[in-house]
Chain A
Amino acid sequence: MASSDGTDPVDGHTGLTTRGDSVQFSDVGLRYAGGDAPPVLSGVSFEVQAGELFVIVGPSGCGKSTLLRLVAGFLEPTEGSVQVRGSAVRGPGPDRAMVFQSVDGPLLEWMTVRDNVAFGLRLQARRERRRFDPRRVDYWLGVVGLTQAAGKLPHELSGGMKQRVQIARVLAVSPSIVLLDEPFAALDAQTRRLLLQQVSDLWQSEGGTFIYVTHDIREAVMLGQRIGVMRAGPGSNFRSIHSVDLPYPRDDFAPEFGEVARLVETEIIEEVTRSWRAG
């Protein structure tokens, strides 16, 4: 991989200009407008360390993505606070960029792959009143293996390639926190496996805090330094948070891997059955 030594040829430091920020949830609750419906989240407290790769799993509809959207600043908590680097999150910003599950939604379909990756960088250059440096785009296109496809439009790409464009455009703006919301859920198994490896490599080589939401237990154990298992909603929060002390790259055929996976799976199944009984 182009970034294996972690060095950005452009200005001589790592691709991400940050080693990551911490995220702190203190007693966070979220209730959608109206107020009569039960809350989506309730009493969520946890901290993601700076530079950590934290994975969130849980039964579908439990509010995993909602947690991520709170960090991104797309939503505001109705109770408690979400803090990044010690100060409350106020709206979205490029320090917390997000890779979305949707393959066709987020990319700008009238822009080439190159321009999509350059999108955030151009805005950044404008804000800082300096000239936009196209070499940074080249660098990130290389990292995700899209140099050949740089001139193509998104509709000419496969799903896996589109998700790589999303990853590149997010990492290009040097976010201190990278949010990934089931980014590979819509892809086939082989592509998912390869891209998962790529995310793991990127996190190790580039650094930064990664928060990864998935419903796939294998993905979770493959990636997470810690795995947070959420309860079934409504009023969801973390049932448990597991540290995974396995070296990267992880071998999903190893017995230790299976142990962790089984543990996490058992908890999720318990949550699902509990919600079925309740519902």
Chain B
Amino acid sequence: MARRLVKHRMLAISLLAVLVALGLWGVASRSFNPQLLPGPDRVLTGALELAASGRLLDSILISLQRVFKGWLLGTAIAIPLGLLAGTSALARAALDPFIHFFRFVPALALTSLFMLWFGIGEGSKVNLVAYAVAFVVLVVTASGASSINRDKLLGATSLGANRWELFWRVVLPATFPAIFVGMRLALASAFLVIVAAEAIAAQEGIGFLIWNARTFFRTDFMFVGILCFGILGFASDRIWMLIGRTFLSRYLTGLGSY
């Protein structure tokens, strides 16, 4: 009961903080050229305009689709490789040079190449997001898999687990927290990269909306796009946390509340 009260109070504080920030933004925008810093009212009008034409929803849906397809694809590639690199010294020796080379090659540097390789359609955008996502998930997964308590592994083998059973029944579930956190961090990377992916050769999406707004000097549209990214990212993160708490809670007992 008391905990619930505290939770409500924290929620109220968060809401209040957001309202204060909006207020400050409103006040600040009065002393600037609205073309440079449009106030909340102008941004809202812009959003309504975009919503009325259907462009807002279309942009949101297409960007979200790219983000999640890329996120899932990158994750699907990264988890097995991460587990491999984290548990086998041989695999690690073979993979490490590539992991830590490409990890530092920004997705932005590959934007044009990916357009050439995968075309101007969805493929290039999804693959670019997947690329950015994969290294985050890979490194965090490998780090999680390699830091499993030694006694946990020895204990399981001394109870009769063979290598296969050790992997499926101990290593994999013990790495769930790392995978979960890795995927959470990668979600942010996915949103980061989608702007770049939609900067070139895209005709829709929130990233395109922002880049296109530049041409027409519609800073209010830019703000709408920025707010969309923030809100969608925030919501995705909350949903991912909710999924973790609902379906994976017994695996995530070691994680903090943040």
Residues of A near any B CB (own CB < 8 A): 72-74, 91-94, 96-98, 100, 102, 104-111, 119-120, 123-124, 127, 153, 155, 166, 169-170, 173, 179
Interface bracket on B: 20 to 34
Please give the distance in Å from A92's CB to the nearest CB on chain B.
4
Instruction: From the candidates A100, A102, A107, A127, name the one contacting B160 in the complex (CB within 8 A).
Output: A127
Do A110 and B159 have beta carbons less than 8 Å apart? no
A98 to B153, CA, bound (A): 12
CB proximity of A73 to chain B, nearest CB, Å: 8
Which residues of A have CB within 8 Å of B121? none
B41 contacts partner chain A, Cβ-Cβ < 8 Å: no
Determine if B253 and A105 form an interchain contact, defined as CB atoms under 8 angstroms apart: no
In the complex, what residues of B have CB within 8 A of residue A107's CB? Answer: 152
* B88 interface residue (CB < 8 Å to A): no
Known: A105-B151, A108-B173, A110-B176. A72 touches B251 (CB 8 A): no
Q: A74-B154, A98-B155, A100-B155 are in contact. Are A105 and B161 (CB under 8 A)?
A: no
| CB closest residue in chain A, given B154 | A74
Rounded to whole angstroms, the CA-CA distance of A74 and B165 in the bound complex is 17
Q: Which residues of B contact A (CB under 8 A)?
A: 149-152, 154-161, 165, 169-170, 173-174, 176, 250-251, 253-254
A153 and B253 contact, CB distance less than 8 A: yes
Among B150, B151, B160, B251, point to the contact of A120 (Cβ < 8 A).
B160
Cβ B160 vs Cβ A106 within 8 A: no
Q: Are B156 and A96 in contact (CB under 8 A)?
A: no
A94 to B150 alpha-carbon distance, docked (Å) = 17
User: Contact between B159 and A173 (Cβ–Cβ < 8 Å)?
Assistant: yes
13 further A-B pairs in the complex, CB-CB below 8 A; given A102-B151, A105-B152, A123-B161: A94-B160, A105-B150, A105-B151, A105-B155, A106-B149, A108-B152, A119-B156, A120-B160, A123-B165, A153-B253, A166-B155, A169-B159, A179-B158
By a CB distance below 8 angstroms, the chain B residues around A123 are 159-161, 165
18 pairs, A vs B, C-beta closer than 8 Å: A74-B154, A92-B154, A92-B157, A94-B160, A97-B159, A100-B155, A105-B149, A105-B150, A108-B174, A120-B160, A123-B159, A123-B161, A127-B160, A155-B253, A166-B155, A170-B159, A173-B159, A179-B158
Q: A106 to B152, Cβ gap below 8 A?
A: yes
Most central of A105, A110, A124 by chain B CB within 10 Å: A110
> How long is the Cα–Cα vector from A96 to B170 in the complex, in angstroms?
19
Chain A residue at smallest Cβ distance from B251: A110
Q: How long is the Cα–Cα vector from A74 to B159 in the complex, in angstroms?
A: 12
Q: Which of A96, A119, A173 has the largest number of chain B CB atoms within 10 A?
A: A119
Contact of B158 (CB < 8 Å), options: A96, A102, A109: A96
Is there an interface contact between A106 and B151, defined as CB atoms closer than 8 Å? yes
Task: Give Cα distance in the complex from A170 to B158, angstroms.
Answer: 9
In the complex formed, the residue of B with least CB distance to A127 is B160
Q: B252 CB to closest chain A CB, in angstroms?
A: 9
Instruction: Determine if A119 and B254 form an interchain contact, defined as CB atoms under 8 angstroms apart.
Output: no
CB closest chain-B residue, reference A98: B158
Other-chain residue from A72, A74, A109 in contact with B253 (beta carbon distance below 8 A) = A109
A91 to B253, CA, bound (A): 32
> How far does the Cβ of B242 sit from chain A's closest Cβ, in whole Å?
19
Cβ contact within 8 Å between A102 and B154: no
Most buried by A among B152, B159, B173, B176: B159
Q: Which of B154, B174, B251, B253 has the most CB of A within 10 A?
A: B154
Decide yes or no: A124 and B160 within 8 Å by CB, A100-B151, A100-B155 being known contacts: yes
